[in-house]
Structure 1
Amino acid sequence: MESFLRVNETNEHFYERCTNLSYFDCSEEEMLWWMMGPRRLPLQEIIPISVVLLVIFLTGVVGNVAVCVVIVRHPGMHTATNYYLFSLALSDLLLLLFGSFLDFPQIV
């Protein structure tokens, strides 16, 4: 926000000039920043979010691979219900591998 403040301008003055319709003196970039927030998350928010998403990813991959391996290796597990669970684990694994990285926050 400091990059949008003019010389000797406080946050209140910035808010006033970007929200006062009778005296509107706000650029498009300033207005977008005011309404939508910064384009990048600060590093102190990126790191915990990334760690949580990485733990979810690794837990999902390990758990779904374990389910698939157990069902394939043990002949007693070859039932219709377990084939259905195998299918669900495989689809969840594919979603984790190919779809998870689209949800990671943008650093740049």
Structure 2
Amino acid sequence: MEDFFRPNETSEQLCARCTNLTYFDCTEEEMLWCFMGPRRLPLLRIVPITVFLLMIFLTGVVGNVAVCLVIIRHPAMHTDTNYYLFSLAVSDLLLLLFGEYFLLYYSVL
């Protein structure tokens, strides 16, 4: 972050320098940092995000597997509505298994 600042320059001055259309004095990396922020989040933000996403993942997997097992094991639950709920649970489980991993991966980077 400090690599982009000139001596005694604040982040507001950097963004003003990168958004001035009459005198544009900014590199591409400086402009990207100004508009998009730093490339990596600080550790104090990564840890709560990771814990929150892991809690969502674990409760989602346990809940959806439980729904699937209850519908499969009890013959009284073999109704059209429960088959629909079963397909929703499988769909949610697949989304958790494949989507949550990439969300966690890209949020930590």
Question: How many residue pairs get matched?
Answer: 108
The change in CA–CA distance for 1:97 and 1:10 in structure 2 (over 3 A counts) is: closer
- 2:93 maps to amino acid: L
Tell me if the contact between 2:65 and 2:89 (Cα under 8 Å) persists in the aligned partners.
yes
More displaced 10-residue stretch of structure 1: 52-61 or 20-29: 20-29
Write the deviation string for residues 20-66 of structure 1: whole angstroms up to 9, x where unpaired.
33332211111111111111111111111111111001010000000
Q: What secondary structure does 2:41 align onto?
A: coil
Instruction: Go from structure 1 to structure 2 and tell me whether the alpha carbon gap of 1:95 and 1:15 turns closer, same or farther (over 3 Å shift).
Output: closer
Match of 2:56 in 1: 56
List runs of 5+ in structure 2 lacking aligned partners: none
Structure 1 gap segments, 5+ residues each:
none
Alignment partner of 1:107 is 2:108 = yes
More helix per residue: 1 or 2? 2
Identity level (%): 70
Work out the CA distance in 1 between the residues paired with 2:42 and 2:60. 27
**Cα separation, partners in 2 of 1:93 and 1:23, compared to 1, 3 Å:** same
Q: Residue in 2 aligned with 1:92? A: 92
- The TM-score, its normalising length taken from structure 2, stands at 0.86
- Describe how 1:1-80 pairs up with structure 2 within 5 A: 1-80=1-80
- The root-mean-square deviation of aligned C-alpha atoms, in Å, is 1.7
Contact 2:15 2:31 in 1 (8 A): no
Q: Partners in 2 of 1:12 and 1:40 — Cα distance?
A: 20
Q: TM-score, normalised by structure 1?
A: 0.87
Return closer, same or farther for 1:11/1:79 CA change in 2, 3 Å cut-off: closer
